[in-house]
Structure 1
Amino acid sequence: MNGSLTDVPGLEVGHVTRRGDGWLTGVTAVLVPPGTVGGVDVRGGGPGTHETDALDPRTLVPTVDAVVLAGGSAYGLVTAHGVQRWLAERGRGFPVGPGPGEVVPIVPAAAVFDLGRGGVFGHHPTEQMGYDAAASAHPGPVERGVVGAGTGAVVGGRFKGGVGSASARSGEVVVAALAVVNAVGLPVAGPAAGPVEPGPLNTTLVVVATNALLDPAETSRTATVAHDGLARALNPVHTLADGDTVFALATGTVPLAAERAARVHELVDLQRVTADVVRDAVLDGIASAETVGPFARYPG
Structure 2
Amino acid sequence: MMKPGARNLITDVDGIKIGNSEDLGAMTGVTAVVPEAPAVAAVDVRGGGPGTRETEALSPECLVERIDAIVLSGGSVYGLEAASGATIALARQGRGFEARGIRVPIVPSAILFDLANAGNKDWGDMPPYRQLGIEAVQNARVDFPLGNTGAGYGAAAGKLKGGLGSASLIDADGIQVGAVIAVNPVGSVLIPGTRHFWAWALEQQDEFGGFGAPDLAADIPLDLPADSRLGENTTIGVVATNITLTKSEAKRIAIMAHDGFARAIRPVHTPFDGDSIFALSTERKEVTGLRPQVIAKIGAMAADCVARSVARAVYNAKSLGGVPGFMS
TM-score (norm 2): 0.83
Q: 1:293 and 1:71 mapped to 2: Cα distance?
A: 15
2:293 maps to which residue?
A: 265
Secondary structure of 1:28's match? strand
1:130 maps to which residue?
A: 133
Counterpart residue identity of residue 183, structure 1: P
Whether the 8 Å CA contact 1:27–1:125 is kept in 2: the answer is no
CA deviation map 1:147-202 (0-9, x unaligned): 1111110111x110000000001221100000100000102534277643232320
2:150 maps to which residue?
A: 148
Whether the 8 Å CA contact 1:188–1:232 is kept in 2: the answer is no
Whether the 8 Å CA contact 2:34–2:69 is kept in 1: the answer is yes
Secondary structure of 2:287's match? coil
- Say if 1:192 and 1:293 are closer, same or farther in 2 by CA, change over 3 A: farther
2:174 maps to which residue?
A: 172
Is 1:186 equivalent to 2:188 in the alignment?
A: yes
Q: How do residues 68-217 of structure 1 correspond to structure 2 at under 5 angstroms?
A: 68-97=71-100, 99=101, 102-123=102-123, 124-139=127-142, 141-156=143-158, 158-170=159-171, 171-187=173-189, 189=191, 190-191=194-195, 195-196=224-225, 197-199=227-229, 200-217=231-248
How far did 1:138 drift? 1.1
- Say if 1:282 and 1:18 are closer, same or farther in 2 by CA, change over 3 A: same
How far did 1:283 drift? 0.7
Gaps of 5+ in 2: 1-5, 198-220
Q: 1:213 and 1:6 mapped to 2: Cα distance?
A: 17
How far did 1:39 drift? 0.6
Q: 1:283 and 1:290 mapped to 2: Cα distance?
A: 14
Q: 2:109 and 2:234 mapped to 1: Cα distance?
A: 13
Secondary structure of 1:186's match? coil
- Say if 1:208 and 1:2 are closer, same or farther in 2 by CA, change over 3 A: same
Q: 2:322 and 2:117 mapped to 1: Cα distance?
A: 13
How far did 1:294 drift? 6.8
1:5 maps to which residue?
A: 10
CA deviation map 1:69-96 (0-9, x unaligned): 1111010110101110011112210232
- Say if 1:248 and 1:256 are closer, same or farther in 2 by CA, change over 3 A: same
TM-score (norm 1): 0.90
CA deviation map 1:39-88 (0-9, x unaligned): 10011111111111111111101100001111110101101011100111
Whether the 8 Å CA contact 1:165–1:284 is kept in 2: the answer is yes
Counterpart residue identity of residue 203, structure 1: T
CA deviation map 1:241-288 (0-9, x unaligned): 10100011101111113x7xx111111111111111111011111111
Gaps of 5+ in 1: none
Counterpart residue identity of residue 149, structure 2: V
Whether the 8 Å CA contact 2:148–2:318 is kept in 1: the answer is no
Query: Where do 4+ consecutive residues of structure 1 move more than 6 Å?
Result: none
Q: 1:290 and 1:31 mapped to 2: Cα distance?
A: 26
1:58 maps to which residue?
A: 61
CA deviation map 1:199-231 (0-9, x unaligned): 232000111000000011001111111000000
Q: Percent identity?
A: 42
Secondary structure of 1:268's match? helix
Whether the 8 Å CA contact 1:6–1:142 is kept in 2: the answer is no
How far did 1:290 drift? 4.9
2:313 maps to which residue?
A: 285
Q: 1:142 and 1:3 mapped to 2: Cα distance?
A: 11
2:211 maps to which residue?
A: none
Q: 2:300 and 2:103 mapped to 1: Cα distance?
A: 36
Counterpart residue identity of residue 191, structure 1: R
